[in-house]
Amino acid sequence: MEQEKRNGIAVNQLGFRRMDRKTAVIEGEGGTFRLISKTTGESVLEGKTGTAAEDRSSGKKVCRADFSGVQQDGTYKLETDEGQVSDWFTIGDEVYGAAHPALLKAFYYFRCGMELEETYAGVWKHAACHLTPAIVYGDETRHVDAWGGWHDAGDYGKYVGPGAKAVADLLLAYECYPNAFARALPLPETDGAMPDVLHECRYELEWMQRMQDAESGGVFHKLTTLRFPAADTMPEDDTDELYVSPVSATATGCFAAIMAMSARVYAGFDAAFAAGCKAASERAWDWLEQHPEVPGFRNPPEIVTGEYGDKVDTDERYWAAAELYRTTGEERYHEAFLQLAEREFDKYELGWADMGGYGTISYLLSERRGDLAVAERLRAGLLERAERLAAVSRKDGYGVSLQPEEYIWGSNMLVLNHAMLLLIADRVAGTDAYAELALNHIHYLFGMNVLGISYVTGFGSRPVKHPHHRPSEGDGVDDPVPGLVSGGPNLGIQDDYAREHLAGRAPAASFADVMESYSTNEVTIYWNSPVVFVLSHFV
Q: How confident is the model at residue 6 (pLDDT cuts 50, 70, 90)?
A: low
C-alpha–C-alpha distance, residues 324 and 396, integer Å: 39
Q: How does pLDDT run across 134-151, given as a tens digit for each residue?
A: 999 999 999 999 999 999
Q: How confident is the model at residue 2 (pLDDT cuts 50, 70, 90)?
A: very low
- Dihedral sign from CA coordinates of 380, 382, 387, 388: positive
Q: How does pLDDT run across 215-249, given as a tens digit for each residue?
A: 999 999 999 999 999 999 999 999 999 999 999 99
Mean pLDDT estimate for the chain: 97
C-alpha–C-alpha distance, residues 533 and 530, integer Å: 5
Q: How does pLDDT run across 354-411, given as a tens digit for each residue?
A: 999 999 999 999 999 899 999 999 999 999 999 999 999 999 999 999 999 999 999 9
Question: Around 450, how many Cα atoms within 13 Å sit in the side-chain half-sphere?
Answer: 24
pTM: 0.97
C-alpha–C-alpha distance, residues 206 and 271, integer Å: 15
The answer to whether 247 and 256 are in contact (CB under 8 A) is: no
The answer to whether 141 and 148 are in contact (CB under 8 A) is: no
With CA atoms as reference, report the closest residue to 256 among 301, 196, 321: 321
Helices (H) and strands (E) in the chain, counts: 16, 14
With CA atoms as reference, report the closest residue to 408 among 516, 493, 532, 512: 493
Domain 111-370 has CATH 3.40.50.970: no
List the alpha helices (DSSP H) in 17-159: 99-109, 118-121
Give the model's pLDDT for residue 337: 98
In single-letter form, the type of residue at position 390 comes to A
Q: Is the pLDDT of residue 1 over 60?
A: no
C-alpha–C-alpha distance, residues 234 and 377, integer Å: 49
What stretch of H or E contains 223?
strand 222-224
- Dihedral sign from CA coordinates of 179, 182, 183, 188: positive
- Angle between helical axes of 356-365 and 314-328 (0-180°, round to 10): 20
Give the residues across from 159 on adjacent strands.
Answer: 222
Q: How does pLDDT run across 262-321, given as a tens digit for each residue?
A: 999 999 999 999 999 999 999 999 999 999 999 999 999 999 999 999 999 999 999 999
The answer to whether 19 and 4 are in contact (CB under 8 A) is: no
3-state secondary structure at position 48: strand
Q: How does pLDDT run across 176-202, given as a tens digit for each residue?
A: 999 999 999 999 999 999 999 999 999
C-alpha–C-alpha distance, residues 232 and 241, integer Å: 18
C-alpha–C-alpha distance, residues 95 and 72, integer Å: 13
3-state secondary structure at position 215: coil
**Mean pLDDT, rounded, for 88-112:** 98
Question: How do 134-136 and 243-244 pair as beta strands?
Answer: parallel
Measured CA distances, 150 to 222, 230, 244 (Å): 12, 19, 15
The residue extents of the domains of the chain are 111-370
C-alpha–C-alpha distance, residues 229 and 225, integer Å: 8
The answer to whether 248 and 137 are in contact (CB under 8 A) is: no
The answer to whether 508 and 444 are in contact (CB under 8 A) is: no
Q: Is the pLDDT of residue 42 over 70?
A: yes
Q: Is the pLDDT of residue 440 over 90?
A: yes
Give the model's pLDDT for residue 3: 40
C-alpha–C-alpha distance, residues 202 and 197, integer Å: 9
Output helix, strand, coil percentages for the chain, rounded to the nearest 5.
40, 15, 45
Give the model's pLDDT for residue 7: 78
Is 292 exposed, middle or buried, given 0-12, 13-18 or 19+ CB atoms closer than 10 A?
exposed
DSSP state of 244: E
Question: Residue 447's Cα: distance from chain center in Å?
Answer: 17
**Mean pLDDT, rounded, for 420-432:** 97
- Dihedral sign from CA coordinates of 440, 443, 445, 450: negative
List the alpha helices (DSSP H) in 410-524: 411-429, 435-445, 470-474, 496-501, 518-521
The answer to whether 103 and 532 are in contact (CB under 8 A) is: yes
Could you give the residue numbers annotated as active site?
Answer: 468, 513, 522
